[in-house]
């Protein structure tokens, strides 16, 4: 048996596009008496595209899109949602965001305001943006002389803006800044390496450490280093228990997840992978003796229906080894592993290569992991949920919050930071929604949405919000009541309640940043 394998699920060069490979041998036959071969199919594809180019009733902007579409169609025939074609730009973004956990850029969080303009919510400390004194509330009106405005008329998107801001470290970019009360001014910045953060942490009352992991990123540095630093800081501060929050964590790199689980587990198997067709993907990842969080520290892991893939590897290992307990809702159930293969056009192929198994030999694919303590977040009633969905289809809340911020912005560099000053104005928003959108929403749920937007737009990084988080509250209660051990005996498989609910498809993170 292998002790463990530290191979990353990384980018490698593919020889070519599988269905376009030409093999003159008889083995190239696909099926049927007519001896349809891959050569014939490749010729048929090329012929079909050429016919469309010549005869389609309106001009085709980019005929290469038809070839890309054929790649997508070939992969779609596998009926696997995790096997798909990735365009060149998205592939490059994945290299930066997922594998490198860093990019060449300025170091700013940006968002689109209600008029379609790009605004800075906060500069990241020690980056070119921070050193140039860019501030929350600044508008970026031009990049290298190109006017910035997101609308159907301009056709410009957030990704387009990110592409203009990013670039090779050491290169210059000139941005035009509009700051309230001042004339527009140009700033030329030299791009630098900006790390992408995936870990947040804080110390809760009673010396309970809290660490939130939003994704597992970074081949060399990234989530693993961030996590170790946060854990060490909590231990230095006298941490007596730990809450690891994996809610809404849709996964990432297998190797990063392995190292996080290994920090808690000192012996045995953490995860294994198996392929029915290729033995090179049969791997065992075993724990090492280098445990970072000792077993006398009670551990609670928060999960929900959007905890998927790599986060389920960590949660499954902790549950199966009885190192800690899971609190929240059943996880998504993505129990397969993908590998990225670079393609000749600069894009890449995400291909499912194996199924992974928890230490007990369980495949959680399409099943998920049920926590020992199942608890819902506080949610609005059914009627209010319908009303809130209607609100979410409009820009009413966003427009109200951003306008209030603009009006409260009294002098350069003095963005409002106190949401309690906006809160008394929310009944006006409630009235606007009733009069203009014909929806009635309670102040409680309107406040939650408005506060999230306010924090994003003024650069407040709120780690926890206990006023709306029943799952976190329950985790704290269990720790304070010294009940973690109660849920670990008898073994979890004897106490796990049956579940018939299905997780929803994970959502993309709505926060748009220069990252």
Instruction: List the catalytic residues.
Output: 309, 320, 334
Reduced to 3 states (helix: H, G, I; strand: E, B; else coil), residue 16 is coil
- Separation CA 317–CA 471 (nearest Å): 21
- Separation CA 321–CA 504 (nearest Å): 27
The one-character DSSP state at 129 is H
The one-character DSSP state at 508 is P
- 326 touches 307 (CB < 8 A): no
Best CA proximity match to 13, nearest among 344, 351, 354, 352: 344
- 270 touches 328 (CB < 8 A): no
Q: Which two tokens stand for residue 265?
A: 């587990």
The CA-based dihedral angle spanning residues 76, 81, 87, 91, taken in that order and rounded to the nearest 10 degrees: -150
| Helix spans in 29-169 (H) | 38-55, 64-76, 88-94, 128-131, 158-165
Instruction: Look up tokens 């912005």; give the residue.
Output: 409
H or E stretch covering 257: helix 254-262
With a CB cutoff of 8 Å and minimum separation 6, the contacts of 35 are: 29
Best CA proximity match to 213, nearest among 252, 176, 180, 184: 252
Residue 472 to residues 204, 213, 326, 478, Cα–Cα distance (Å) = 11, 14, 11, 10
- 238 touches 202 (CB < 8 A): no
Best CA proximity match to 332, nearest among 376, 370, 375, 301: 370
């Amino acid at each position: 048996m292998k002790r463990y394998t530290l191979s990353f699920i990384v980018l490698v060069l593919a020889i070519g596009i599988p269905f376009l490979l030409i093999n003159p041998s008889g083995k190239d036959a696909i099926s049927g008496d007519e001896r349809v071969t891959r050569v014939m199919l490749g010729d048929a594809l090329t012929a079909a595209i050429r016919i469309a180019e010549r005869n389609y009733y309106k001009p085709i902007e980019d005929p290469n899109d038809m070839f890309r579409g054929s790649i997508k169609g070939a992969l779609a025939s596998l009926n696997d949602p995790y096997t798909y074609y990735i365009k060149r730009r998205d592939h490059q973004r994945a290299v930066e965001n997922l594998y490198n956990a860093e990019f060449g850029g300025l170091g700013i969080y940006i968002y689109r305001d209600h008029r379609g303009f790009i605004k800075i919510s906060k500069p990241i400390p020690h980056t070119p943006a921070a050193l140039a004194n860019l501030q929350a509330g600044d508008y970026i009106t031009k990049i290298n002389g190109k006017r910035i405005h997101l609308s159907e008329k301009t056709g410009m998107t957030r990704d387009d803006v990110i592409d203009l801001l990013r670039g090779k470290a050491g290169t210059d970019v000139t941005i035009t800044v509009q700051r309230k009360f001042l004339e527009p001014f140009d700033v030329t910045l030299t791009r630098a390496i900006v790390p992408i953060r995936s870990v947040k942490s804080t110390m809760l009352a009673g010396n309970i450490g809290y660490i939130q992991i939003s994704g597992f990123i970074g081949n060399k540095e990234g989530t693993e280093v961030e996590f170790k630093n946060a854990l060490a800081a909590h231990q230095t501060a006298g941490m007596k228990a730990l809450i690891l929050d994996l809610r809404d964590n849709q996964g990432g790199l297998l190797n990063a997840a392995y190292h996080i689980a290994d920090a808690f587990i000192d012996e045995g198997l953490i995860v294994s992978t198996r392929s029915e067709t290729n033995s090179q993907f049969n791997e065992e990842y075993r724990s090492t003796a280098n445990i970072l969080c000792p077993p006398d520290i009670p551990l609670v892991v928060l999960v929900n229906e959007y905890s998927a893939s790599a986060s389920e590897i960590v949660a499954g290992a902790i549950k199966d080894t009885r190192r800690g307990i899971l609190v929240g809702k059943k996880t998504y159930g993505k129990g397969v592993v993908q590998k990225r293969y670079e393609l000749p056009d600069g894009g890449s192929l995400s291909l499912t290569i194996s199924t992974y198994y928890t230490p007990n030999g369980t495949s959680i694919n399409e099943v998920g992991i049920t926590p020992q303590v199942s608890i819902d977040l506080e949610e609005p009633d059914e009627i209010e949920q319908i009303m809130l969905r209607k609100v979410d289809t409009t820009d009413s809340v966003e427009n109200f919050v951003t306008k209030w911020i603009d009006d409260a912005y009294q002098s350069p560099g003095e963005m409002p930071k106190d949401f309690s000053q906006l809160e008394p104005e929310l009944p006006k928003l409630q009235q606007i929604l009733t009069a203009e959108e014909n929806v009635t929403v309670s102040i409680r749920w309107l406040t939650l949405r408005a506060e999230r937007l306010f924090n994003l737009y003024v650069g407040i990084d709120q780690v926890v919000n206990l006023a709306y988080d029943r799952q976190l509250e329950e985790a704290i209660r269990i720790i304070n009541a010294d009940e973690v051990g109660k849920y670990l005996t008898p073994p979890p498989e004897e106490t796990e309640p049956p579940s018939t609910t299905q997780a929803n498809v994970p959502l993309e993170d709505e926060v748009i940043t220069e990252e």
